[in-house]
Chain A
Amino acid sequence: MLDIVDLHAGTAATAGAPGTNGAGMTEILTGINLHIKAGEVHAIMGPNGSGKSTLAQVLAGRDTYEVTAGSVTYKGQDLLALSPEDRARNGLFLSFQYPVVIPGVNNIYLLQASVNAIRKHRQQEPLDAVDFLVLVREKIAEVQLDESFLHRPVNEGFSGGEKKRNEILQMLLLEPSLAVLDETDSGLDIDALKVIAEGVNRYRRADRALLLITHYQRLLNYVEPDRVHVLMDGRIVKSGGPELARELEAGGYAPIQEALAAAR
């Protein structure tokens, strides 16, 4: 479903700044290789600032990052050539680490507009307000968010956990094929974590894949990954099965860093 080959990306920087390459770029992703098949769950772990969110945002099409080398193929097409909206319409979903507040725009309005944009792409009839309300009520109950959140401006004044539930609500409504969840489990209380994990498990299907970016083993206890990858300095430096996440939880990143240093 997703094939990332030698992906390099960064931000335009003032020339001569430390870490800047010849083209005036600060490189954040320094050669990512990652292959995810339909039905699989992959987890990415890694220290703060290692490039996890940058990878997620590059996949979703954020234009502050420039891809300088490599390729991303999604369902057989060149993902990087698509606009952010076309990526979403083709079934890619990003749950943001920091969901964005949109003053003055009602949550339900955004939800309905996005569901209908995606339905249109799938050549389905748009849902009218009544049908949409029925659907959204069903899904919002699944993430155990009060219906009053539908009528508030998007993410405005939402607590950290409420924002994450709202991201999962969007995922459940949009029914993507590939969902990238960037620390959707951070800042959640124990009950909320369970709610999110249940939501994620409900989403799983043989034709859908999942990329979980996380700092903790906790979520992975509920959502068992097929592969776990360690991202450091913009590269995947180690991959393994679910046991790798437990090792990291116990020993941190130091052993991997030391092994890398020794290998150099």
Chain B
Amino acid sequence: MSASTTVAAAQPAWLLPPPEASFAGQPDNLTALRRSAWEQFTETGLPNTRREAWRHTNLDPLKQFAFRPQAGDVPVSAEALAPYRLDGEIGAVCVNGTFRPDLSNLANLPEGAVLESLAAAIGRGALEQLQAFEFDQDQPAEGLSMAWLQDGIYLQVPQGVVIEQPLHFYFVSTGNDDSTVSFPRVHIQSGDNCQLALVEHHIGLGSQPRLTCSVTRIEVGPGAVVEYLRLLEEGAGAHHLASITARQQAGSQLQMTGLSTGGDLQRNDVTAALEGEGASHRMAGLYLVRGREQVDNHTRIDHMAPHTSSVETYKGILDGQGRGIFTGRIVVHPAGQQTDARQTNRNLMLSDQALVHTDPQLEIFADDVKCSHGSTVGQVDDEAMFYIRSRGIGMAEAHRLLVHGFSAEVLEQISHPLLRAVATEQVNRWLEELPAP
């Protein structure tokens, strides 16, 4: 170290610091959190591949860009979203991270439930959750999202409210020729015994380089039944770092399904903490990669109370030179007696140049538990292919049929019929472009 003048760590060139104007009007404690998150980020930088959690995913390519937030209101027409709309949905739309009441439709929201822009929720002090933030170098999505925190979607469902219509949260990323960054954020608080089904839908319009740092928090109250579907379909140029964390109270049920098709690079950190007795959790994921795309899934399920159960099903379909990573950690805490945890990760390789890393990790600190895990990597079944072709179906269609069949196990787990339908459509869009073997 020279004795010269450097006081603060160098600012990263690929991402500007959050503009001063972005702090205007926010509560002081939030401003302090945000400033400190940015400072710590500039000190540590992005995690490199020497860090265990980032062994297979190199973020250096991000540094070739100069990401900046899209300025001002971006024109997005309601028609652009029309193909995605679900029957009777309660739709909330953010464009490049900013809540857009003009594109949202909250008419079907039941009385008592609150669905609003996150900025508004922060403004009225509704977000104590944010205070719990601690910087973690391995979670750049969290750190950057905090440093840039502006807006997002806030949902609060009070005790006993049942929402039948699907909630549909859109995060649309657009832009001109510049590289853009956005920080979509969702906070969900569901009270005792309430029920809801929600789609968080990330859609890319355009193909310029984009970075999305996405954070989702789901609080599931005692006895609540929540279904959460996350759809990533962002197309070429998209880089997506996501952190999804859920906490479940006693007797609650949460089902989370993540579907990824399209995007240059994705990293999904998904964690569920089963804090209350008898909480049950289903975590499912489907990652479809092709070209040079990469999807890295890091999941963690914590069994922290007795009689909790989890079923985790992740499936990958990898074509071209695509890369898939699954690291699934299940931790049974000492209090997690009579835990029942099952995990599977299955991968279908459509090309011999595709690559997958699968790494199940069980850490068990209780003695009376049932835990199992299994992972497989395989190819399309020749015999099944022949059987289908022998019924007059051509090679390309037979191939699609088998690949779709492989994904069905995850799609069938989605309980809400409209959620299942929208996920199936997304898988089908991917399959339409599948080249014949």
A binds B: yes
Listed in ascending order, the chain A residues whose CB lies under 8 Å from chain B are 60-64, 83-85, 87-89, 94, 96, 99-105, 109-110, 113-114, 117-118, 121, 153, 170, 174
Asked if residues B390 and A84 are in contact (CB atoms below 8 Å), the reply is: yes
Q: How far is the CA of A166 from the CA of B393 in the complex (A)?
A: 17
Asked if residues A83 and B392 are in contact (CB atoms below 8 Å), the reply is: no
List 20 interface pairs A-B (beta carbons < 8 Å), by A numbering.
Answer: A60-B386, A63-B386, A83-B389, A84-B386, A85-B389, A85-B393, A87-B390, A88-B392, A89-B392, A94-B390, A100-B383, A102-B384, A104-B405, A105-B405, A105-B408, A113-B391, A113-B397, A117-B393, A121-B392, A170-B391
Interface residues of B in 98-149 (CB under 8 A from A): none
Q: Please, which residue of chain A has its CB at the minimum distance from the CB of B382?
A: A64
Asked if residues B409 and A174 are in contact (CB atoms below 8 Å), the reply is: no
Asked if residues B409 and A103 are in contact (CB atoms below 8 Å), the reply is: yes
Q: Please give, as numbers and ranges, the residues of chain A lying within 8 Å of B388 by CB-CB distance.
A: 102, 110, 114
Residue among A89, A100, A104, A114 with the highest chain B CB neighbour number at 10 A: A104
Q: How far is the CA of A42 from the CA of B384 in the complex (A)?
A: 28
Asked if residues A104 and B389 are in contact (CB atoms below 8 Å), the reply is: no
Q: Please give, as numbers and ranges, the residues of chain A lying within 8 Å of B381 by CB-CB distance.
A: 100
Q: Please give, as numbers and ranges, the residues of chain B lying within 8 Å of A83 by CB-CB distance.
A: 389, 395
Closest 7 CB pairs of A and B: A104-B405, A104-B408, A114-B391, A88-B392, A100-B387, A105-B405, A84-B389
Point out the residue from A102, A103, A117 that lies within 8 Å of B387, measured CB to CB: A102
Q: Please give, as numbers and ranges, the residues of chain B lying within 8 Å of A118 by CB-CB distance.
A: 392
Asked if residues A105 and B395 are in contact (CB atoms below 8 Å), the reply is: no
Asked if residues B390 and A61 are in contact (CB atoms below 8 Å), the reply is: yes
Point out the residue from A63, A96, A110 that lies within 8 Å of B401, measured CB to CB: A110
Asked if residues B404 and A96 are in contact (CB atoms below 8 Å), the reply is: no
Point out the residue from B386, B391, B394, B401 that lies within 8 Å of A62, measured CB to CB: B386
Instruction: Describe B's contact surface by its main secondary structure.
Output: helix
Q: Tell me whether A174 and B392 are in contact in the complex, defined as CB-CB below 8 angstroms, given that A102-B402, A153-B405 are known contacts.
A: yes
CB distance from B105 to the nearest CB of A (A): 31
Q: Please, which residue of chain B has its CB at the minimum distance from the CB of A102?
A: B384
Q: Please give, as numbers and ranges, the residues of chain A lying within 8 Å of B386 by CB-CB distance.
A: 60-63, 84, 100
Residue among B392, B405, B406, B408 with the highest chain A CB neighbour number at 10 A: B392
Point out the residue from B389, B404, B409 that lies within 8 Å of A88, measured CB to CB: B389
Q: Please give, as numbers and ranges, the residues of chain B lying within 8 Å of A100 by CB-CB distance.
A: 381, 383-384, 386-387
Point out the residue from B383, B397, B408 that lies within 8 Å of A103, measured CB to CB: B408
Q: How far is the CA of A101 from the CA of B402 in the complex (A)?
A: 11
CB distance from B21 to the nearest CB of A (A): 51
Asked if residues B406 and A104 are in contact (CB atoms below 8 Å), the reply is: yes
Q: Please give, as numbers and ranges, the residues of chain A lying within 8 Å of B387 by CB-CB distance.
A: 96, 99-100, 102
Q: Please give, as numbers and ranges, the residues of chain B lying within 8 Å of A174 by CB-CB distance.
A: 391-392
Q: Please, which residue of chain A has its CB at the minimum distance from the CB of B407?
A: A104
Q: How far is the CA of A8 from the CA of B29 in the complex (A)?
A: 83
Q: Please give, as numbers and ranges, the residues of chain B lying within 8 Å of A63 by CB-CB distance.
A: 386
Contact with A along B384-428 (1 / 0, CB 8 A): 101111111111011001101111110000000000000000000
Q: Please give, as numbers and ranges, the residues of chain A lying within 8 Å of B401 by CB-CB distance.
A: 102, 105, 109-110, 113
Q: How far is the CA of A94 from the CA of B390 in the complex (A)?
A: 7
Q: Please give, as numbers and ranges, the residues of chain A lying within 8 Å of B395 by CB-CB distance.
A: 83, 85
Q: Please give, as numbers and ranges, the residues of chain B lying within 8 Å of A60 by CB-CB distance.
A: 386, 390
Q: How far is the CA of A99 from the CA of B386 in the complex (A)?
A: 11
Point out the residue from B392, B402, B404 that lies within 8 Å of A85, measured CB to CB: B392
CB distance from A94 to the nearest CB of B (A): 6
Q: How far is the CA of A87 from the CA of B395 in the complex (A)?
A: 13
- Further contacts, 19 of them, CB under 8 A, given A105-B401, A114-B393: A60-B386, A63-B386, A83-B389, A84-B390, A85-B394, A85-B395, A88-B391, A89-B392, A94-B390, A103-B408, A104-B404, A104-B407, A105-B402, A105-B404, A113-B393, A114-B391, A114-B392, A118-B392, A174-B391
